[in-house]
Structure 1
Amino acid sequence: MTISATADEVAVGGPTESADGASTLAAAREQLAAAAARLGLDEGMHAMLSRARREMTVTVPLRRDDGSTTCYVGHRVQHNLSRGPGKGGLRFSSAVTLDEVRALAMWMTWKCALVDIPYGGAKGGVTIDPQQHSAMEIERVTRRYTSELAEFIGPERDIPAPDIGTDEQTMAWMMDTMSANRGYTVPGSVTGKPLLIGGSLGRTDATSLGVAQMALAALQHVGLRSGQTTAAVQGYGKVGRGAARFLAEAGVRVTAVSDQFGGVSNPGGFDFDALDRHVRETGTVTGFREGDPIGNDDVLQTEVDLLLPCAVEGVITAANADLVRAKAVIEGANGPTTPAADRILDHRGVLVVPDILANAGGVIVSYFEWVQANQAYWWTESDVRGRLRERMVAAWADVARTAAQAGCTLREAAMSTAVGRVAEAHRVRGLYP
């Protein structure tokens, strides 16, 4: 048997973290520090909230289809458990680092608190490029990662969900592995799984729908009507694709979209049925005949009313924030705007709907799925969407009201609300000796 290390493992499995992961964590901690200062939290409380409750790093050996063995690194970070079990996605990407997972877990804590669902924040990742592996290899990685963490995850402890590089099939493998280890089926151990084994109607496009709802709320907030507005979507994937379609159905003209390979623009808007066929056939939006080729940076700088960064962290920075020409930025991704860029956009009068509000639709419906699984009673799609809208609209109203009363940005209002709720949960529970 041959054992080899991959470039993925060497790049992210060593003792140092990438600059991107470190900067993402620094951004998350800077946001927390600002909220802690506004709330007047003492140093001890701030210190507890800035650190993860529990971190697990595991080796994930993979037996390849050719008989060789490759080792990857997996992480699971449970940032805070004071308001309930951990909740957060699992991503498969060669860019995964422990610092990145720490930041994403922290943002999950604030997101769950902001929309007032009884979860803490968690996140996981494996340093693997799924595009370089067969389905059988990805299944083996998933099951090994799950078994390594079996004592730390589950419906009462930490409930994973899909993220970048993972999907409902990944969740099915995780649930089956958890169930096999326990000796009985545990449908609440993950969310975002197939309907056939306890998934929820409305879960697949929940994040996209929530992003679109917040985008429409932002339009109203700045005095625009959806039938007379335009949008650009950076990151035409799980979240961006659905959000673009929902906005188009609401009358917003989406004039530019992009993915990791590039982008296309069409001032008249897109035929999304045709665009989606092209993406299924080619794996990218580039080369779509009904649009002109543009770069990812061009999408961020497109003159539109709404800009939706829906891909990864840190795409709007101090280097390009002055070039953003949208009236409002709706953060479909986690952490797409750096703190320095946030200040620039605020100074320029660009409204930013923060990630912990804008993309909370996914975790809200994950909560609904978990509730349904625990009760063994499933809701209709109309029920799910109606309750999602209620939660999103209530959270928007709460954040907008707080921002107006305090004279601060939507992010400052959202973070103050979320951090305050988690800090209060800490106080009520007390500190175990």
Structure 2
Amino acid sequence: MADSSLLADASIRLETALKYVNISEDAIERLQYPKASVTVSIPLRLDDGSLKIFRGYRVRYDDTRGPGKGGVRYHPNVSLDEVESLAFWMTFKCALMNLPYGGAKGGITLNPKALSKHELERLSRGYISAIADFIGTDVDILAPDMYTNATVMGWMMDQYSIIQRRITPGVVTGKPISMGGSQGRETATSVGAFQVINTLLPKFDQSPERTTVAVQGFGNVGAMLAQLLSQVGYRVVAVSDSQGGIYAPQGLDIPSIRRYKMSSRSLQAVYCESSVCNIVEHEVISNAELLNLKVDVLIPAALEKQITVENADQIQAKYIFEVANGPITSDADSILEKQGIRVFPDILVNAGGVTVSYFEWVQNRSGLYWTSEEVNQSLKERMTVETEKTWSIAQEFGVSMRTAAYIHALNRLGEAMDAKGTRDYFQSSQ
């Protein structure tokens, strides 16, 4: 495996799953390194007239099962190592969900909050101009990720179309509806995670009314998931964002908190009636303290590497559903397992986003667009089917759900790679 800390950590999960699959040495060798990566410099003329250079990345880890697929993130910590790791996870996520895609990822190293909207648009278009030869509807398809949204995706699709001199909606998913986006795409990751939780918790006799939940990361995905859970009776007792968190053992009114945050950009435990919001009794906590709460369900929905060997023994939740990418390091996995904590992996739990991205790509290529009801029903069916298959594999081999997810994905990847011929095939008599 390549010398990159995040990617090496991610690959440990692959090595564990390899013990339970029967795929060729050729396939294993091909999965050791990303297929292609590009690093670009993007010059940006700032609003004050000065020039600044930003570093951008795009990695296509594997495209055996179809074109690369993966988001573009804007964050100060974006690096080639991180993008490679995320593309690796996307490879297995797409195979796990049986999507005709390989894994890819991209990003720009920046603080998006430090740029104006005009600067962000110019930077987004500059990124596409720099990587235009590396992407395409049948080559590598972009999507929103951290600090990118439908508007940014619209800029990117438009810029690529300008370069190609034709309308190319299929090169980007997560676009505005008016530009060929899909109904249900903005909530897809949350809805998909909700379906996974609802499929798995009943297997442990864990009903919503008797289940407490803490959500780290009250952004678009975490906030929507918290609301979906609270609507069906789960007691969400803690949420947090980048500034810190709030905790109320009696439960939080998530819709009120979401409305308050959208209007004030701050996180407060409030209860709202119409436009009047009153602060309710709560405790202010840090993100680290939220992770250590004694709750039934912990949902890391922020950044990677939140639960590590340093704090894993302090986790008190019974079940962890990884909505963020890579929130638990591989060395923390074994500690959590020894404590009897069940972890449900990111490549399954947060796969709703890429699944509806696939639906959007299909709609763009066919010119036929689905209703939100059709999208959500198709999403529910696929998330439920693949969750049940992963659960069955975990029971069959007596392994964790993470290992089972990689086994499931590896079997599909290995079959596709071996279809092109293996050492045994070429060495056999003609």
> What TM-score do you get using the length of structure 2 for normalisation?
0.93
Which deviates more from structure 2 when the two are superposed, residues 215-224 or residues 141-150? 215-224
Which residue does 2:299 correspond to in 1?
308
Query: C-alpha distance in 2, partners of 1:223/1:113?
Result: 30
Residue 419 of structure 2 aligns to a residue whose secondary structure is: helix
Which deviates more from structure 2 when the two are superposed, residues 139-148 or residues 44-53? 44-53
Q: Which has the higher contact order (CA 8 A, sep 6+)?
A: 2
Residues 382-401 of structure 1 aligned to structure 2 (within 5 Å): 382-401=373-392
Which residue does 1:54 correspond to in 2?
36
Which residue does 2:254 correspond to in 1?
272
Please tell me the residue identity of whatever aligns with 2:362.
Answer: V
Query: C-alpha distance in 2, partners of 1:30/1:351?
Result: 18
How far does residue 287 in structure 1 lie from its aligned partner after superposition?
A: 7.5
How far does residue 35 in structure 1 lie from its aligned partner after superposition?
A: 2.0
The reply on whether 1:117 has 2:108 as its aligned counterpart is no
Give the alignment partner of residue 77 of structure 1, picking from 30, 55, 59.
59
Query: C-alpha distance in 2, partners of 1:30/1:122?
Result: 19
Which residue does 2:145 correspond to in 1?
163
Which deviates more from structure 2 when the two are superposed, residues 134-143 or residues 263-272? 263-272
The reply on whether 1:341 has 2:332 as its aligned counterpart is yes
Preserved CA contact (<8 Å) 2:67 2:141: yes
Give the alignment partner of residue 380 of structure 1, picking from 365, 371, 381.
371
- 4+ aligned runs moved over 6 Å, structure 1: none
Residue 62 of structure 1 aligns to a residue whose secondary structure is: strand
Residue 213 of structure 2 aligns to a residue whose secondary structure is: strand
Query: Among the aligned pairs, what percent are the same residue?
Result: 43
Residue 133 of structure 2 aligns to a residue whose secondary structure is: coil
Residues 80-99 of structure 1 aligned to structure 2 (within 5 Å): 80-99=62-81
Residue 50 of structure 1 aligns to a residue whose secondary structure is: coil
Q: 1:211-269 CA distances to partner (integer Å, 9 max, x unpaired)?
A: 11212223212221112211000011121111100100111010000111110011122
Query: C-alpha distance in 2, partners of 1:320/1:268?
Result: 26
Aligned residues: 414
Query: C-alpha distance in 1, partners of 2:88/2:53?
Result: 27
Please tell me the residue identity of whatever aligns with 2:186.
Answer: T
Query: C-alpha distance in 1, partners of 2:314/2:35?
Result: 39
The reply on whether 1:234 has 2:234 as its aligned counterpart is no
Please tell me the residue identity of whatever aligns with 1:311.
Answer: A
Which residue does 2:158 correspond to in 1?
176
Residue 58 of structure 2 aligns to a residue whose secondary structure is: strand
Query: C-alpha distance in 2, partners of 1:410/1:150?
Result: 38
Which residue does 1:415 correspond to in 2?
406
Please tell me the residue identity of whatever aligns with 2:294.
Answer: E
Residue 199 of structure 1 aligns to a residue whose secondary structure is: coil
Residue 315 of structure 1 aligns to a residue whose secondary structure is: coil
Preserved CA contact (<8 Å) 1:24 1:314: no
The reply on whether 1:26 has 2:8 as its aligned counterpart is yes
How far does residue 136 in structure 1 lie from its aligned partner after superposition?
A: 0.6
Q: Which residues of structure 1 form unaligned runs of 5+? A: 1-16
The reply on whether 1:154 has 2:136 as its aligned counterpart is yes
Residue 297 of structure 1 aligns to a residue whose secondary structure is: helix
Report the CA distance shift for 1:428/1:284 in structure 2 as closer, same or farther (over 3 A). Answer: farther
Q: 1:164-218 CA distances to partner (integer Å, 9 max, x unpaired)?
A: 0110011000000111111111111100010011111111101001111212223
Report the CA distance shift for 1:374/1:431 in structure 2 as closer, same or farther (over 3 A). Answer: farther
How far does residue 273 in structure 1 lie from its aligned partner after superposition?
A: 2.7
The reply on whether 1:65 has 2:47 as its aligned counterpart is yes
Which residue does 1:143 correspond to in 2?
125
Query: C-alpha distance in 2, partners of 1:217/1:267?
Result: 25
Q: 1:253-290 CA distances to partner (integer Å, 9 max, x unpaired)?
A: 10000111110011122222321132123433257633
Which residue does 2:173 correspond to in 1?
191
Residue 135 of structure 2 aligns to a residue whose secondary structure is: coil
Preserved CA contact (<8 Å) 1:235 1:310: yes
Which residue does 1:207 correspond to in 2?
189
Query: C-alpha distance in 2, partners of 1:406/1:34?
Result: 12
Q: Quote the RMSD (CA, aligned, Å).
A: 1.8
Residue 110 of structure 2 aligns to a residue whose secondary structure is: coil
> What TM-score do you get using the length of structure 1 for normalisation?
0.92
How far does residue 22 in structure 1 lie from its aligned partner after superposition?
A: 4.0
Query: C-alpha distance in 1, partners of 2:127/2:421?
Result: 33
Query: C-alpha distance in 2, partners of 1:349/1:384?
Result: 36
Residue 340 of structure 2 aligns to a residue whose secondary structure is: coil
Q: Which residues of structure 2 form unaligned runs of 5+? A: 271-278
